[in-house]
């Protein structure tokens, strides 16, 4: 359970996501979808109940170590002036080779996003990634998170600004992510075809989980 002030936002939420599962989270505006991700990031703490990973309450993990294992992509991913390589490795404590980078880009069907530009990984990225399209930036952001090699990836409507067709392409990309990565994705609408877990939050914040 979680409140914002006097407003009860999440109530009786019960969700089990097996390791390696892709789970889509849907619900009306204000139903608590983003708040649920904030709780998982430990930006807030639940008023009652607990959140566990591998049977251990997340509050028992050292905060820095816990967050190092959690990836997050929001609606406005960060891009800085620099090279494509710099931006793909932004905030990554690992030393990734170019070969590792290309392997991840190929997994996401995103190799040409980089290879078609002069200098490929050394190509220039403008402030905010303004010289890349929204779809291209989203693919690069996903690649950045895969290169961090986290256990869990949280997505807070990163494709909301894309057109419906591009969103469906993005949803298909999510189903190509590594099988050991657990993904919780808040989405505006559902994929046209999916056999993934779907978790629905209604306006009151009470929940219903189903497998599709």
Can you give the CATH number for the domain in which 35 is found? Answer: 3.40.50.300
- Which of the two residues, 8 and 197, has the higher pLDDT score? 197
What total of structural domains would you count in the chain? 2
pLDDT given for residue 112 in this prediction: 95
163 and 203: one domain? Answer: yes
22 and 117 belong to one structural domain: no
pLDDT tens for 60-114 read 999 999 999 999 999 888 999 999 999 999 999 888 999 999 999 999 999 999 9
Asked whether residue 163 falls in the same domain as residue 118, the answer is: no
**What is the model's pLDDT at position 210?**
44
Percent of the chain whose predicted confidence (pLDDT) is above 90: 57
Residue with tokens 């996401």: 108
Write the burial class of residue 46 (CB in 10 Å: 0-12 exposed, 13-18 middle, 19+ buried).
middle
Determine the Cα angle at 76 with ends 71 and 78, to 5°.
70
pTM: 0.89
Residue 76 belongs to a domain? no
Whether 205 shows a pLDDT value over 70: the answer reads: no
Q: Residue count of the chain, please give it.
A: 212
Q: Which residue has the higher pLDDT, 135 or 212?
A: 135
Number of Cβ within a 10 Å radius of residue 84 = 24
Q: Give the pLDDT score at 189.
A: 85
pLDDT digits (tens, 9 = 90+) for 167-204: 999 998 898 888 899 999 998 888 887 778 888 886 44
| Residue 177 structure tokens | 């992510």
Tell whether 124 and 87 lie within a shared domain: yes
- Whether residues 25 and 118 fall in one domain: no
**How far is Cα of residue 98 from the mean position of the Cα atoms in its chain?**
23
pLDDT of residue 190: 85
Average pLDDT over residues 114-132: 95
Confidence of residue 49 (pLDDT cuts 50, 70, 90): confident
Beta bridge partners of 137: none
pLDDT, residue 211, reads 40
Confidence of residue 54 (pLDDT cuts 50, 70, 90): confident
Q: Where are the beta strands (DSSP E) in the chain?
A: 2-4, 7-10, 22-27, 52-53, 56-57, 70-73, 82-83, 124-125, 152-156, 182-186, 197-201, 207-211
Q: Note whether 21 and 42 are same-domain residues.
A: yes
What per-residue confidence (pLDDT) applies to 75? 87
Owning domain of residue 122: 81-133+142-148
């Amino acid at each position: 359970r979680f409140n914002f002030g006097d407003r009860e936002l999440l109530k009786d939420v019960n969700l089990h996501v097996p390791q390696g599962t892709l789970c889509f989270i849907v619900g009306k505006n204000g139903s608590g979808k983003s708040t649920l991700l904030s709780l998982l990031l430990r930006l807030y703490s639940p008023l009652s109940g607990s959140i566990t990973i591998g049977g251990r309450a997340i509050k028992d993990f050292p905060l820095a170590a816990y967050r190092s294992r959690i990836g997050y992509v929001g609606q406005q991913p960060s891009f800085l002036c620099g090279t494509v390589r710099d931006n793909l490795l932004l905030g990554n404590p690992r030393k990734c080779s170019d070969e590792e980078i290309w392997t991840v880009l190929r997994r996401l069907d995103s190799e040409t996003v980089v290879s078609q530009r002069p200098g490929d990984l050394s190509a220039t990225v403008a402030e905010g990634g303004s010289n890349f399209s929204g779809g291209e930036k989203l693919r690069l952001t996903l690649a950045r998170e895969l290169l961090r090699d986290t256990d869990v990836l949280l997505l807070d409507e990163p494709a909301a600004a894309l057109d419906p067709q591009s969103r469906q392409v993005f949803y298909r990309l999510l189903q190509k992510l590594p099988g050991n990565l657990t993904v919780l994705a808040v989405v505006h609408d559902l994929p046209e075809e999916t056999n993934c877990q779907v978790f629905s939050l209604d306006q009151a914040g009470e929940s219903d989980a189903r497998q599709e």
